[in-house]
Structure 1
Amino acid sequence: MEKKDIKKVLDKVSAGTATPAEEQTAKYWLHYFSKDNIPVLSEDELNQETEAIYKSLMEQKAPAKVKRLWYPAVAAACLLVVIGGGLFYYNQQISPEPKASIVANTINDVAPAQNTATLTLANGKKIILSDAPTGLIAEQTNVSIFKTADGKLAYKAKPLKDDEQKTAIENSELNSITTARGQQYQVALPDGSKIWLNAASTLTFPATFTSLKQRKVELVGEAYFEVAKDKIHPFIVKTDKQEVEVLGTHFNVNSYSDEDATRTTLLEGSVKVSNHNEHKILQPGQESLLAKNNLSVRKADTEGAVAWKNGDFIFNNEDFGSILRQVARWYNVEIVDNGNHKNLHLSGTVSRSKNISVVLKALEVTGKVKFKIDGNRVIVTE
């Protein structure tokens, strides 16, 4: 929709001749894409923003700032549609009157991922963390394991005497925490490092790092790491294709087997990413991609890379197939696509706390895809 068309609709609203549907549509068309922040708006905020931008359009000025929001110039911005607390646009064209949603039968709607995981101790005992009580849930040779009041896992090392150091080295018991599809969890290791685990992921780690030369963990899937600084003991994240070595930093590793590349995104500090052939040093704002044994570095969309950890889906010209895989893992559903969307890329944001119908409707508003919910299956119908 051109700027002059927006003004025509707004003139109808101002004159009182617009229908309720036109009035609401006019509000939604006033939202523009911003990589810095795309917050979920309340109805009051939407009304405030609409009034501010309308005044700016009428005065031929850049849109005024409203609390919590940022806008580029109206004429230069990419247009978005707001729906269900999310913003999406198709990278080629958006119809101002999207086809009606056929996300059918909301009685089959799917809730977002739960905050739970399965902890497997060194002796093979499994603990479903959503069922575990708050407080001490297990003890091992060198650590006590707690479930905190806010539903996180915390390891606390026990003090060791000198004659217990050798035993500690020989009994560096491995634990693992696993999230299924439709689950997420957070764990605090005894060295103070914090790890957020995305859906369908597994982290394997020593119950304690006491007397170990390296703090080495293994990852399948995706996790965000805030590593406690320790210059003497490097922290290493091993996946099936690479290793990431740090001393203390914040970074994200995406290593799902069904994705085309292993992606490591650095937010703070520095990391060394290595595969069998080479290594790369990343600086903040960069990410490495390992695909077909080729390791490369590029500028990162850090906000998009860690959006899952912050409770959002944020896509920046994202391949439609990748979007479907993320949705499938988060909601634990099977998504059936006819495969006719290989060249479709979408951008936008929507909260991961919403039911799946909200996310699908946000995708449908592009006018390029439709969905049908059938039990635990989501079918792309167009």
Structure 2
Amino acid sequence: MVIKGKPTMNKAELKTLFAKYNDGTATEEERALLEAWYLQYNEKEAYQLNGKSIKAAKAEIFRRLPGNQGQFFNIGIRLAAAAILIGILFTVTMLFFVNRNPGKASQLANDLPPGTNKAVLTLANGRHLNLSDATNGRLYQQQGIKIVKAQSGQVVFDYSGNQATAEQNTITTPNGGQWQIKLPDGSQVWLNAASSLTFPTSFSHGINRIVKLSGEGYFEVAKDAEHPFIVISGDQRVEVLGTHFNISSYADEPSIKTTLLEGRVKVSLLGNVTPMFLKPGEQSVANGHQLDVKPVDTEEALAWRNGYFQFDDETVSSIMRKLSRWYDVDVRYEGNISDEGLNGRVSRNKNISQVIKALEATQTVHFRLEGRRITVMK
């Protein structure tokens, strides 16, 4: 987590740090310093270090990845490359700056762990299945419907019945929870905290592939040219044949954001007769009856799915809404909090105290944590 100022290092210092980073001898603080420097500098401004810029190093990593023969990467390859390149950035890289700029100390009466994999599945007959407590294997079977919890934790739906109509199931994640599900047509969905997905027990026999999302979900839709996959979230409707995309539609957020990673989707709003078509790397933003499309950094939209928070010029209030959902905390404010945009990346697998320290390194805000209430102070 850093403010807009750039860490200052001369070329000799950068070359030394880069060499130690490559051979694995850099300390945690040295790695944090180099990575923070890279995040703050545009790649075009990167120095040539040991004959190879960081940008060139990233290109080389992409080139060496198996199966990478073209310009586009699937999400697995992109994540692998990011993990190889960034490495320690999945931890709190700004601890180095926290130690250098202690400032006003937080008031922490306790600490809170990050969210985990937990969800509840509500069947059409009203039965509730606590997925986090369930053992691996078959969870439920009736009338051709088989629900299995795989070793990976993913819940898989298999339908082999002959129902003329499909019943509706709902999977719900609480604050501090997330889950992955494989739908009857083979499509996969990852749900973020405080989210729910309602879907039919079967997509066969001419039944439309229509699901309803509240909160945030990442979709990898199985291709079916004859049956479009439709996601309804609030007043928004997203229609696809087979693609990868993310939808954020929390009730406490000012807009619904749909980000496309692969394929093509049609986004439309109730009361707006003109749909928008997204291309990979684009995001639609729905505000009321207004729908706009813009190019975006897809890694930011998928950060939660990949195990970290990424903030690009994001306000404190927006950041705290995300932390509230993931750490299941009630957020209060004291005084006039700056609306300055913050930038940075921090792991979702850290206790909230470490995230707080990273935020305080900006010298913008301070915190008081008591139980599950966190107060944001100037």
**TM-score normalised by length of structure 2:** 0.78
Equivalent residue number for residue 146 of structure 1: 148
Which of these residues, 29, 35, 38, is aligned with residue 33 of structure 1? 38
Q: In 2, Cα distance between the equivalents of 1:95 and 1:117?
A: 35
Give the secondary structure class of the aligned counterpart of 2:354.
helix
Give the secondary structure class of the aligned counterpart of 1:33.
helix
1:326/1:24 CA distance change after superposition, 3 Å: closer
Equivalent residue number for residue 164 of structure 2: 169
Equivalent residue number for residue 85 of structure 1: 91
Which of these residues, 79, 83, 98, is aligned with residue 101 of structure 2? 98
Q: In 2, Cα distance between the equivalents of 1:305 and 1:342?
A: 24
- Residue 325 (str. 1) matches residue 321 (str. 2): yes
Quote the offset at 1:337 in angstroms.
1.8
Contact 1:221 1:254 in 2 (8 A): yes
1:253/1:65 CA distance change after superposition, 3 Å: closer
Equivalent residue number for residue 110 of structure 1: 112
Equivalent residue number for residue 183 of structure 2: 189
Equivalent residue number for residue 20 of structure 1: none
Q: In 2, Cα distance between the equivalents of 1:350 and 1:95?
A: 13
Identity of aligned residues (%): 41
Quote the offset at 1:83 in angstroms.
9.3
Contact 1:173 1:206 in 2 (8 A): yes
| Superposition misfits of 4+ residues, deviation over 6 angstroms | 23-27, 64-70
Contact 2:368 2:376 in 1 (8 A): yes
Q: In 2, Cα distance between the equivalents of 1:353 and 1:36?
A: 26
Q: In 2, Cα distance between the equivalents of 1:190 and 1:84?
A: 33
Runs of 5+ unmatched residues, structure 2:
18-26, 61-87
**Higher Rg of the two aligned structures:** 1
- Residue 232 (str. 1) matches residue 226 (str. 2): yes
Q: RMSD over aligned Cα, in angstroms? A: 3.4
Equivalent residue number for residue 303 of structure 1: 299
1:229/1:63 CA distance change after superposition, 3 Å: closer
Contact 1:84 1:362 in 2 (8 A): no
Contact 1:9 1:26 in 2 (8 A): no
Contact 1:316 1:347 in 2 (8 A): yes
AA matched with 2:342: L
Quote the offset at 1:263 in angstroms.
0.3
Mapping 1:329-340, distance limit 5 Å: 329-338=325-334, 340=336
Contact 2:98 2:358 in 1 (8 A): no
Q: In 2, Cα distance between the equivalents of 1:24 and 1:149?
A: 34
Q: In 2, Cα distance between the equivalents of 1:209 and 1:169?
A: 11
Give the secondary structure class of the aligned counterpart of 1:324.
helix
Which of these residues, 357, 360, 364, is aligned with residue 361 of structure 1? 357
Runs of 5+ unmatched residues, structure 1:
15-22, 38-52, 71-81
Mapping 1:133-282, distance limit 5 Å: 133-158=135-160, 160=161, 164=162, 168-170=163-165, 172-276=166-270, 277=272, 278-282=274-278
Q: How many residues are matched? A: 330
Quote the offset at 1:84 in angstroms.
9.2
Contact 1:88 1:347 in 2 (8 A): no
Give the secondary structure class of the aligned counterpart of 2:334.
coil
Contact 2:216 2:250 in 1 (8 A): yes
Q: In 1, Cα distance between the equivalents of 2:90 and 2:232?
A: 38
Mapping 1:46-65, distance limit 5 Å: 56=49
1:175/1:345 CA distance change after superposition, 3 Å: same
1:259/1:339 CA distance change after superposition, 3 Å: farther
Q: In 2, Cα distance between the equivalents of 1:129 and 1:350?
A: 28
AA matched with 1:169: A
AA matched with 1:316: D
Deviations 1:234-264 (A, max 9, x none): 1000011110000000000000000010000
AA matched with 1:206: P
